[in-house]
Structure 1
Amino acid sequence: MLGLAKRVGARFLLTSTSEVYGDPLQHPQVETYWGNVNPIGVRSCYDEGKRTAETLTMDYHRGASVEVRIARIFNTYGPRMCIDDGRVVSNFVAQALRKEPMTVYGDGKQTRSFQYVSDLVEGLIRLMEGEHVGPFNLGNPGEFTMLELAEVVQEVIDPNAKIEFKPNTEDDPHKRKPDISKAKELLGWEPKISLRKGLPLMVSDFRQRIFGDHKEGSGNSKTTASSS
């Protein structure tokens, strides 16, 4: 893709990730922080893959004058996510709607920051239309533990939804929160939709896709869920 951008003179967007910070020793994370990543860990293919992509992007920018933009995206949620994609927000919402226990790994005290999809889209548009390369953290600085997230899901879906604890996964980051000062200053961007405002919009979509297609047959329901 970088080679193609070079040949046709296109502006190239790399959607990187907060995972480049690994299990951070700095909190909140600023773009100048180099991260704390285990290069041979079970999660490293994603972490290091994105770090390598950033390296290649900057090499093409410096060496071949390709116009590039780099966004480090923090946890994002919203309608039309794949219902069983394994991300914590979609997991909790789908489990609560199906009357299954919400699965919390570890003690549930690890934190994440959740941004609504329309906030992210606005940030990406501003990044691409602006003149700053980045990288830019694009995320919502509102920080929630996994247990707090589960409580918000209970508020929205079912106050009696159960929580089930399981052993934590290896190299799971303990904290994750973006410092978005750079995006505020140079892009004029910050998220506007809180978790408590955005989650009901996602729940409505999930409820429709999980339960709303039965009249048209289970085959259609399955197609709708898998293609979203």
Structure 2
Amino acid sequence: MKKILITGAAGFLGSHLCDRFIKEGYYVVGMDNFITGEKKNIEHLIELENFEFVAHDVTNYIELKGGLDYILHFASPASPIDYLRIPIQTLKVGSLGTHNLLGLARAKKARILIASTSEVYGDPLVHPQSEDYYGNVNTIGPRGVYDEAKRFQESLTMAYHRFHGIETRIVRIFNTYGPRMRLNDGRVIPAFMGQALRGEDLTVFGDGSQTRSFCYVDDQIDGIFKLLHSDYIYPVNIGNPNEITIKDFAEEIIKLTGTNQKIVYKDLPVNDPLQRQPDITLAKKILGWEPKVERKEGMALTFNYFKNLSTEELYKSEHKNFSDFINK
């Protein structure tokens, strides 16, 4: 039985990765410190014989007994509200945490896949974004703590590959959605769905002409699984290239939820990307991967998850608006 360590295991993507690798017959060690992850995401795994949970902050030294075949490093805040609330921890998990895990990979002779992000492209001047684009990032802007943590993470990973010869993989994740996302975490899909379910107007920043491309979680997990088992060492975009403006997307959510809320407009946050669309040519060529779940289907599944949340979860006290938070 192959053994894999998944950091950020109680998070949105991390918990789905645990599910996939357990289904594939792996022994999974999940690691999380619950700074943004939630215990409910992995409660269904705790009693399984091939799952083990370790409560640990990866910015501290990591020690695991026995052999290890693979590592997936997904321990990082990923939403604007989270990484602006805990900026230092965000930088540390991208630097110290990545350094610790690369060291563990070297010691165990394990292959490691690092979760990077489309945010390394910043507010792009090239559209769509391909892996050979170097990006347009404000290093000292409010989003820089996340963008630069991920850019440094990529550099450190390649340095370990070149200098120490460890097997590394890098996935650049574009906007992903699905069950287990947290409401009110600053990301557009849970924000819109939370507002709709609470009977609030939907908040659009700027004039709504900025674009996003949304990938359903099952497709994202499949791409990551294939990349881990490939022979390709450089970054690969995994996302859905089906692009939509935020205004049009808000209207889709109103139609999906059967609500009659209005769309209200607020100032665009600093350095908020105006365009986001992955070029997945490389993923198609190297991995034979492309998304299969259409947005209409994925959004219906996601809405069904959100509408079954408890009243307490629906009204949980979190900063509801990205711009409200960063202006404080």
What TM-score do you get using the length of structure 2 for normalisation?
0.64
Equivalent position SS for 2:114 = strand
- Percent identity over the alignment? 50
Equivalent position of 1:171 in the other structure: 271
Counterpart Cα distance in 2 of 1:84 and 1:6 = 38
Q: For residues 71 and 197 of structure 1, what CA distance do their matches in structure 2 show?
A: 25
Label 1:192 to 1:121 Cα distance change in 2 as closer, same or farther (>3 A). Answer: same
Equivalent residues of 1:101, 1:162 under 8 A apart: yes
The residue correspondences of 1:137-216 to structure 2 (distance < 5 A) are 137-211=237-311
**2:229 aligned residue (121, 129, 133):** 129
Match of 2:16 in 1: none
Secondary structure at 1:209's aligned position in 2?
A: coil
Secondary structure of 2:308's aligned partner: helix
User: Which residue does 2:134 correspond to in 1?
Assistant: 34
Letter in 2 for 1:73: I
* Equivalent AA in structure 2 for residue 11 of structure 1: R
Identify if the C-alpha distance between structure 1 residues 123 and 146 changes in structure 2 by more than 3 Å, giving closer, same or farther: same
Q: Say if 1:225 and 1:80 are closer, same or farther in 2 by CA, change over 3 A.
A: farther
Deviation sequence 1:114-170 (CA, Å, 0-9, x none): 000000000000001111113000000000111111011112102512211111100
Given the alignment, which residue of 199, 204, 212 partners 1:112?
212
Q: CA RMSD in A?
A: 1.7
**Is the contact between residue 209 and residue 225 of structure 1 (CA under 8 Å) also seen in structure 2?**
no
Q: How far apart in 2 are the matches of 1:8 and 1:97?
A: 47
Q: 1:89 to 1:42 in 2, by over 3 A?
A: same
Contact 2:196 2:259 in 1 (8 A): no
Give the aligned partner of residue 107 of structure 2: 7
CA shift for structure 1 position 84: 2.2
The residue aligned with 2:157 is 57
Gaps of 5+ in 2: 1-100, 319-328
Unpaired runs of 5+ in structure 1? 212-217
Matches within 5 A, 1:59-98: 59-98=159-198
Match of 2:5 in 1: none
Tell me how far apart the structure 2 counterparts of residues 158 and 42 of structure 1 sit (CA, whole Å).
Answer: 35
Contact 1:85/1:91 (CA < 8 Å) preserved in 2?
yes
Q: Count how many residue pairs are aligned between Structure 1 and Structure 2.
A: 217
Moved over 2 A (4+): none
TM-score by length of 1: 0.92
Q: 1:225 offset after TM fit, Å? A: 11
